[in-house]
């Protein structure tokens, strides 16, 4: 039978947030790439909340942008409201969040993909991964990927494949008793790939997530809700977006609350919830519980917040944040209508829970390549994460590494002291995760260093070396770094005397007078002062851009804390740099405790640092491992 | 490879005239200089030639601890191939642990079990053929330390550490939920609450540190067992030492039927005193069990206090007791010195010789528990024995205590950082960083890692949005 047979470099399976970044990275690195989607109209779809960013997720987008990803740029062009969260807190937890015009976002990303050289979009369901047995002396990989096959029988030979299947694998949507075998938004699910993966020895699992209803704006009474405005001065996500270009007229969001009536309806109908009735098999995330979960688990809370957010400019649909549910349609309507402002609501799309197949990410290396299948990479919800930003971040890394793999170059692993992306991936591949993984700032132990404001300083170089960041962009960061260094040095050098002019100036700023001469840096470090506010007593300062000034303030004000973390990082790097050969045989190390030996064999850590983070591996096991590695290297 | 500096007691802690504290790592000389003073107070150990020995004194601030010899050995010709200093001091746990303690407060940390050997191997000092043996050593020492650590910890201390950790975790989780979901959880007005709590937590940990100093953290002090016939004054003695009416003291023979246990501190020495049932031939079943236990405890004792009623003649029950204490370190108290004396030290010594028992009796002291005479002499005797390393104790207990103390000190320091950040009005996210360090440090004491505790606490206690 005649069939389509094509040869490309990379196949990306899925065109959600992970798939888009992966495909763009590969194509931009010069590789012939094809991206598969079950529906071209659903490229970069946002099937749940209409925002990008938020606490710690905003960091991911910034980092992604610094590395040469696309998400930040697209949201800068399509947002309708923007807010910097946590501004009253320290700079490390400032986080940008933007409301997206969903349709525009999707369209803009599709536009980027369509116009990217070396990239082809293909509407087709991938049903099978094509592999070859690999006879490798060390038997590290048992198979190697050689391509994919679509539902229609077309074969795409490829040197690398990136799986970004999101929530589509064997997807099942639940709205009370009504169950459909579809992906999000009623889209076609992908029902064959799981079997292909399992036959290749991949361990699959089932996760669950959910989304609230969408309502017709005209049916809502906003007078009963509190208006939520965006920031006056908008900060863009992307380091390459001109800040002037994002100062737009913004659309408001709205806040209202559930009440006892709402909770009573939910309690009375719990038996009809698929979760409580035991119909759902998948594990859901604890951080975005359905409203029924909230009512059950936090029974003493009198009310829960409900954020009503626009889904876009050219639509009347409103997203009802905080009230995701899998209750039946009639219960949903009754429950929503108890909420002030929603009394007469008309539901456009029902809330639903969705179950899907994904993999246990402990089968991946920190490069996001499969441990047993050479050339196969994966990213996003398929890896057991949740969230658009988590997906995009992994997509970029998986894409970059697939490309580097083909080029025969060293792949990229960001460590926990370099980026939230590093924390995200390390957590996924090293820890045992039992629910969809969400990024949180508390997961980053060196978060004072991993700020959203310095993502460019941390990561531009890596993006540049991979070929995703232009020379111009990289040069700017180098110049910026130098400006910061020089100016901080100058501030530490220049002293002001305890004279009358200075005392009066400080008094005027509500700051205490000087007893002896002080450096400008000492003044900047005072909580009530800043680099900008002491301009009058520092006449000879150079003219510097805002982003440089921001770094100067942060570095001087939090100097003590930053230095402490840098010291910890030094310790951390020491064992992180100690690599473990891939063919190590843990059975050979007799003094490891049994649990440690089993875990190490299973996780195959790439470094002693990674080994030390596996639960069940003790510091003594690490000492034994170090001695063993030393004896290996001497042999 | 740049590494931190470690220190530990390198010799057996007890029962030796000389002890060695070893320091290894890049700050070894610096640390030693901070605690060492030469006779003319001019010599700096960092300036002396490698592989030389120096006489001097060890000070904790202005307090003199011991007269020592210090060996200075610079890298690479040392056991670990790192700068190494060995302080030869007087043996005995008291002096050695004090020196270790002051060393640890001046620029190094306590070595992990087997760490000197590990470094020696990793730095190429130990031959490849011994890799297996090195791994063996690390493994077994750590297993032992782990068991000892958990076994030794007093239940009350463990409970306290658990409850402090729970409290700290709750605060971190609250702060972190607010950071992750600022629109659902507000930190307005929280700082005052946290400050109050942090001060309390800080003080509680500080108290634990002090207790560790006094050896109160651990179950085992020096195992001291009081033996003697019924009604010779054993319980009265315990009461005097403890300072409260704990044992039942009556003049009817055989009232202490079970074992009473008290931890006391005598001149800075932790003693675990076990008051036993009196030994005599008995038909009373309950009392008989008590006697059996007494025999068992006496067998495991580090020090036995044999109380004799000096107003009564020795009898066959004393024979039994002497068999029990043969070969052990014993202080004999000739009690009831306020009454007519019928027994002297020569009587006891003779009896033991007659039964051909080896006598470990260190001292005979005449006491009167009624008039509280001779008690000072008794206490001083214990002190002297201890300081001269004459009482055998389990080394591991002191190392465990030191390890716990170090973890507590770390936790204390982290809480101090939290208080500093609060005083400096730093934003809330700074607090949780040091709270987390305190949480992790406390975890070391009870052998618990951090793992997913925080994430679980956040989701379990706080309702997150979306």
- The string of pLDDT tens digits covering residues A418-473 is 999 999 999 999 998 889 999 999 999 999 999 999 999 999 999 999 999 999 99
For the sheet with A204-211, list strands across it. A178-180, A172-175, A352-359, A204-211
Mean pLDDT of A258-262: 97
Which of the listed ranges A599-603, B38-42, B396-400 does the model predict with the highest average pLDDT? Answer: A599-603
pLDDT given at position B106: 94
CA–CA gap between residue A506 and residue B145 (Å, rounded): 57
Enumerate the residues of chain B whose CB falls inside 8 A of the CB of residue A288: 464-466
B 93-112 residues with CB < 8 A to A: 112
Length of chain A, in residues: 635
Cβ contact (<8 Å) for A288 and B454? no
Enumerate the residues of chain A whose CB falls inside 8 A of the CB of residue B182: 55, 85-86
> Looking at the complex, does the CB of residue A55 fall below 8 Å from at least one CB of chain B?
yes
Cβ contact (<8 Å) for B138 and A623? yes
Which tokens sit at A260?
Answer: 């006892």
Enumerate the residues of chain B whose CB falls inside 8 A of the CB of residue A590: 132, 135
| Option in B118, B454, B463 nearest A442 (CB) | B454
CA of B71, closest CA in chain A: separation in Å? 28
CA–CA gap between residue A213 and residue A251 (Å, rounded): 20
Average pLDDT across chain A, whole number: 95
pLDDT confidence tier of residue B396, bands split at 50, 70 and 90: low
* DSSP secondary structure letter of residue B420: H
Q: Is the pLDDT of residue B395 over 70?
A: no
CA–CA gap between residue A523 and residue A467 (Å, rounded): 42
Q: Give me the torsion for CA of B36, B42, B46, B49, rounded to 10°.
A: -110
For the sheet with B361-366, list strands across it. B260-266, B269-275, B222-228, B303-309, B330-335, B361-366
Q: Tell which of A48, A51, A230, A287 to mutate to test the B interface (max B CBs under 10 Å).
A: A287
CA–CA gap between residue A243 and residue A239 (Å, rounded): 9
Q: Is the pLDDT of residue A329 over 90?
A: yes
What is the torsional sign of CA B168, B169, B172, B175? negative
Cβ contact (<8 Å) for A324 and B466? yes
In this structure, how many other beta carbons lie within 10 angstroms of the beta carbon of residue B226?
Answer: 30
Enumerate the residues of chain A whose CB falls inside 8 A of the CB of residue B465: 288, 305, 307, 321-322
Q: Which of A538-547, B176-185, B457-466 has the lowest mean pLDDT?
A: B457-466
pLDDT given at position B259: 61
| Option in B180, B449, B463 nearest A304 (CB) | B463
Which tokens sit at A553?
Answer: 């303030």
Number of cross-chain residue pairs from A and B with Cβ atoms under 8 Å apart: 134
CB A439 within 8 A of CB A424: yes
Mean pLDDT of A94-100: 97
pLDDT given at position B389: 62
Cβ contact (<8 Å) for B139 and A620? yes
| Option in B142, B182, B451 nearest A55 (CB) | B182
Q: Which of A348, A350, A49, A339 is nearest to A221 (CA)?
A: A339
pLDDT confidence tier of residue B173, bands split at 50, 70 and 90: very high
Pairing of strands A172-175, B6-9: unpaired
pLDDT given at position B339: 87
Q: Which of A430-444, A533-547, B208-222, B244-258 has the lowest mean pLDDT?
A: B244-258
Mean pLDDT of A35-63: 97
Cβ contact (<8 Å) for B121 and A630? yes
Q: Is the pLDDT of residue B350 over 70?
A: yes
Cβ contact (<8 Å) for A55 and B180? yes
| Option in A288, A301, A441 nearest B464 (CB) | A288
Is A13 strand, coil or helix?
Answer: strand
CA–CA gap between residue A246 and residue A235 (Å, rounded): 8
B 129-158 residues with CB < 8 A to A: 131-132, 134-136, 138-139, 142-143, 146
CA of B179, closest CA in chain A: separation in Å? 7
CA–CA gap between residue B26 and residue B46 (Å, rounded): 11
Mean pLDDT of B274-301: 72
Percent of chain B whose predicted confidence (pLDDT) is above 70: 85
Mean pLDDT of B154-176: 91
pLDDT given at position B201: 97
CA–CA gap between residue A346 and residue A305 (Å, rounded): 20
pLDDT given at position B33: 95
pLDDT given at position B119: 93
CA–CA gap between residue A422 and residue A434 (Å, rounded): 20
The pTM assigned to this predicted structure is 0.86
Enumerate the residues of chain A whose CB falls inside 8 A of the CB of residue B424: 527
Q: Which of A146-155, B370-379, B415-424 has the lowest mean pLDDT?
A: B370-379
CB A71 within 8 A of CB A392: yes
Q: Which of A128-137, A206-215, A528-537 has the lowest mean pLDDT?
A: A128-137
Q: Is the pLDDT of residue A578 over 60?
A: yes
Q: Is the pLDDT of residue B221 over 90?
A: no
Which tokens sit at B447?
Answer: 């052998």
Q: Which of B11, B156, B33 is nearest to B97 (CA)?
A: B11
| Option in B138, B426, B451 nearest A620 (CB) | B138
Mean pLDDT of A1-18: 93
pLDDT given at position B249: 46
Q: Where does residue A26 fall: left (phi above 0), alpha (psi -120 to 50 degrees), or beta otherwise?
A: alpha
Terminal Cα distance for chain B, rounded: 48
Enumerate the residues of chain A whose CB falls inside 8 A of the CB of residue B425: 527
pLDDT given at position A635: 79
Cβ contact (<8 Å) for B131 and A49? no
Cβ contact (<8 Å) for B131 and A623? no
Q: Which of A552-566, B20-34, B396-410 has the lowest mean pLDDT?
A: B396-410
| Per-residue pLDDT tens over the stretch A336-378 | 999 999 999 999 999 999 999 999 999 999 999 999 999 999 9
pLDDT given at position B140: 86
pLDDT given at position B397: 66
In this structure, how many other beta carbons lie within 10 angstroms of the beta carbon of residue A555?
Answer: 20
Q: What is the largest CA-CA distance in chain B?
A: 88
Is B222 strand, coil or helix?
Answer: strand
Residue B383: alpha-carbon gap to chain centroid: 16
| Option in B180, B183, B187 nearest A441 (CB) | B180
pLDDT confidence tier of residue B16, bands split at 50, 70 and 90: low
pLDDT given at position B168: 97
Q: Which of A419-428, A557-566, B39-48 has the lowest mean pLDDT?
A: B39-48
Give a three-class secondary structure readout of A561-621.
HHHHHHHHHHHHHHHHCCECCCCCCHHHCCCCCHHHHHHHHHHCCCEHHHHHCCCCCCHHH
**Chain A residue whose CA is closest to B142:** A620
| Per-residue pLDDT tens over the stretch A53-85 | 999 999 999 999 999 999 999 999 999 999 999
* DSSP secondary structure letter of residue B153: B
Cis peptide before A146 (omega within 30 of 0): no
CA of A528, closest CA in chain B: separation in Å? 11
Q: Is the pLDDT of residue B254 over 70?
A: no
Q: Is the pLDDT of residue B1 over 50?
A: no
CA of B247, closest CA in chain A: separation in Å? 44
CA–CA gap between residue B233 and residue A66 (Å, rounded): 81
Enumerate the residues of chain B whose CB falls inside 8 A of the CB of residue A90: 426-430
Q: Which of A600-614, B82-96, B208-222 has the lowest mean pLDDT?
A: B208-222
pLDDT given at position B345: 85
Helix (H) or strand (E) holding B273: strand B269-275
Q: Which of A94-103, A336-345, A451-460, B380-389 has the lowest mean pLDDT?
A: B380-389
Mean pLDDT of A122-131: 98
Terminal Cα distance for chain A, rounded: 57
pLDDT given at position B343: 86
| Per-residue pLDDT tens over the stretch B277-289 | 677 766 677 667 7
Mean pLDDT of B119-135: 90
Q: Which of A255-264, A437-446, B156-165 has the lowest mean pLDDT?
A: B156-165
Helix (H) or strand (E) holding B432: helix B428-445
Mean pLDDT of B21-40: 95
Q: Is the pLDDT of residue A39 over 80?
A: yes
Q: Is the pLDDT of residue A487 over 80?
A: yes
pLDDT given at position A34: 98
CA of A283, closest CA in chain B: separation in Å? 14
Nearest-Å Rg of the Cα atoms of chain B is 27
Q: What is the ipTM of this complex?
A: 0.93
CA–CA gap between residue A457 and residue A66 (Å, rounded): 8
Alpha helices in B181-220 (DSSP H): 190-213
CA–CA gap between residue B28 and residue B103 (Å, rounded): 10
* String of DSSP letters for A84-123: EETTTS-GGG-EEEEEE-HHHHHHHHHHHHHT-TTEEEEE
Enumerate the residues of chain B whose CB falls inside 8 A of the CB of residue A305: 183-184, 465
pLDDT given at position B248: 46
């Amino acid at each position: 039978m005649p069939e389509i047979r094509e040869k490309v470099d990379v196949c990306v399976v899925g065109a959600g947030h992970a798939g888009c970044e992966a495909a763009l990275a590969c194509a931009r690195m010069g590789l012939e790439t094809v991206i598969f989607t079950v529906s071209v109209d659903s490229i970069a779809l946002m099937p749940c909340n209409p925002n990008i960013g938020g606490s710690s997720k905003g960091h991911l987008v910034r980092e992604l942008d610094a590395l040469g990803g696309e998400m930040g740029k697209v949201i800068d062009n399509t947002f309708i409201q923007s807010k910097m969260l946590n501004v009253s807190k320290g700079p490390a937890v400032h986080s940008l969040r933007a409301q997206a015009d969903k349709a525009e976002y999707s369209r803009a990303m599709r536009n980027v993909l369509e116009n990217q050289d070396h990239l082809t979009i293909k509407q087709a369901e991938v049903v099978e991964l094509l592999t070859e047995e690999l006879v490798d002396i060390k038997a590290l990989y048992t198979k190697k990927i050689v391509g994919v096959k679509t539902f229609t029988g077309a074969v795409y030979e490829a040197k690398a494949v990136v799986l970004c299947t999101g929530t589509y694998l064997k997807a099942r949507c639940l709205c009370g008793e009504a169950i459909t075998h579809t992906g999000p938004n009623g889209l076609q699910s992908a029902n064959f790939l799981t079997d292909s993966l399992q036959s290749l020895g991949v361990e699959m699992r089932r996760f669950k997530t959910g989304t609230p209803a969408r309502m017709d704006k005209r049916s809502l009474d906003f007078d009963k809700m509190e208006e939520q405005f965006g920031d006056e001065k908008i900060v863009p996500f992307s380091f390459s977006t001109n800040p002037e270009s994002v100062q737009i007229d913004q659309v408001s969001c709205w806040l209202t609350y559930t009440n006892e009536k709402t909770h009573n309806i939910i309690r009375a109908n719990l038996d009809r919830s698929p979760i409580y009735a035991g119909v759902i098999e998948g594990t859901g995330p604890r951080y975005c519980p359905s409203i029924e979960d909230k009512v059950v688990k936090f029974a003493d809370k009198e009310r829960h917040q409900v954020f009503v957010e626009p889904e876009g400019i050219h639509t009347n649909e409103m997203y009802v944040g905080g009230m995701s549910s899998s209750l039946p349609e009639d219960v949903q309507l009754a429950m929503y209508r108890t909420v002030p402002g929603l009394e007469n609501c008309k539901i456009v799309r029902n809330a639903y829970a969705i179950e899907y197949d994904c993999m246990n990410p402990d089968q991946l290396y920190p490069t996001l390549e499969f441990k047993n299948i050479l050339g196969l990479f994966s990213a996003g919800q398929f890896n057991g994460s949740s969230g658009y930003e988590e997906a995009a971040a992994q997509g970029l890394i998986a894409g970059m590494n697939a490309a580097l793999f083909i080029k025969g170059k060293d792949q990229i692993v960001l460590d926990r002291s370099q980026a939230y992306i590093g924390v995200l991936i390390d957590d996924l591949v090293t820890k045992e995760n039992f629910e969809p993984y969400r990024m949180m700032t508390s997961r980053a132990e060196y978060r004072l260093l991993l700020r959203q404001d310095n993502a460019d300083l941390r990561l531009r170089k890596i993006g540049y070396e991979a070929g995703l960041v232009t020379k111009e962009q990289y040069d700017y960061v180098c110049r910026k770094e130098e400006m910061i260094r020089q100016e901080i040095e100058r501030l530490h050098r220049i002293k002001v005397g305890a004279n009358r002019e200075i005392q009066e100036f400080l008094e005027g700023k509500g700051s205490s007078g000087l007893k002896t001469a002080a450096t400008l840096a000492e003044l900047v470090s005072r909580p009530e002062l800043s680099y900008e506010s002491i301009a009058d007593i520092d006449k000879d300062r150079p003219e510097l851009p805002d982003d440089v000034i921001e770094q100067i303030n942060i570095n001087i004000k939090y100097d003590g804390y930053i230095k402490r973390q840098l010291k910890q990082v030094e310790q951390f790097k020491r064992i992180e740099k100690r690599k473990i050969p891939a063919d190590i045989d843990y059975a050979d190390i007799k003094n490891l405790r049994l649990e440690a030996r089993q875990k190490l064999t299973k996780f195959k850590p790439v470094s002693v640092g990674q080994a030390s983070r596996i639960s069940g591996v003790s510091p003594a096991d690490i000492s034994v491992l170090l001695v063993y590695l030393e004896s290996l290297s001497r042999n | 490879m740049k590494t931190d500096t470690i220190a530990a007691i390198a010799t057996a802690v007890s029962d030796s005239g000389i002890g060695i504290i070893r320091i290894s790592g890049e700050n070894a000389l610096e640390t030693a200089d901070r605690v060492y003073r030469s006779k003319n107070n001019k010599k700096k150990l960092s300036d002396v030639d490698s592989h030389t020995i120096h006489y001097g004194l060890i000070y904790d601030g202005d307090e003199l601890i011991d007269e020592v010899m210090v060996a200075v050995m610079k890298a690479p010709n040392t056991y670990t191939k790192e700068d190494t200093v060995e302080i030869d001091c007087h043996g005995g746990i008291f002096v050695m642990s004090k020196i270790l303690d002051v060393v640890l407060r001046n620029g190094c940390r306590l070595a992990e079990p087997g760490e000197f050997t590990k470094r020696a191997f990793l730095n190429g000092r130990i031959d490849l053929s011994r890799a297996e043996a090195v791994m063996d050593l690390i493994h077994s020492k750590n297993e032992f330390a782990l068991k000892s650590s958990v076994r030794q910890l007093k239940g009350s201390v463990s409970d306290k550490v658990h409850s402090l950790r729970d409290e700290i975790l709750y605060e971190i989780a609250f702060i972190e939920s607010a950071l992750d979901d600022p629109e659902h959880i507000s930190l307005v007005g929280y700082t005052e609450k946290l400050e109050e709590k942090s001060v309390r937590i800080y003080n509680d940990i500080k108290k634990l540190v002090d207790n560790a100093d006094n050896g109160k953290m651990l179950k085992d002090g020096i195992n001291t067992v009081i033996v003697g016939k019924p009604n010779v004054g054993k319980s009265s003695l315990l009461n005097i030492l403890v300072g409260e009416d704990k044992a039942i003291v009556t003049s009817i023979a055989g009232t202490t039927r079970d074992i009473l246990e008290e931890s006391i501190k005598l001149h800075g020495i932790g003693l675990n005193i076990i008051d036993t049932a009196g030994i005599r031939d008995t038909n009373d079943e309950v009392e008989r069990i008590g006697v059996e236990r007494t025999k068992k405890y006496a067998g495991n004792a580090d020090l036995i206090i044999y109380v004799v009623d000096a107003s009564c003649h020795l009898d066959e029950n004393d024979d039994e007791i002497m068999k029990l204490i043969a070969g052990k370190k014993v202080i004999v108290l000739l009690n009831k010195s306020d009454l007519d004396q019928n027994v002297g030290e020569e009587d006891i010594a003779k009896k033991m010789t007659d039964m051909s028992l080896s006598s470990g009796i260190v001292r005979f002291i005449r006491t009167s528990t009624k008039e509280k005479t001779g008690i000072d002499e008794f206490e001083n005797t214990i002190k002297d024995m201890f300081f001269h390393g004459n009482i055998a104790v389990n080394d591991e207990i002191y190392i465990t205590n030191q390890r716990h103390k170090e973890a507590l000190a770390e936790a204390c320091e982290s809480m101090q950082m939290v208080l500093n950040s609060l005083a400096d009005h730093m934003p809330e996210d700074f607090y949780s960083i040091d709270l987390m360090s305190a949480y992790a440090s406390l975890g070391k004491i009870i052998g618990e890692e951090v793992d997913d505790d925080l994430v679980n606490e956040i989701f379990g206690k706080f309702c997150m949005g979306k």
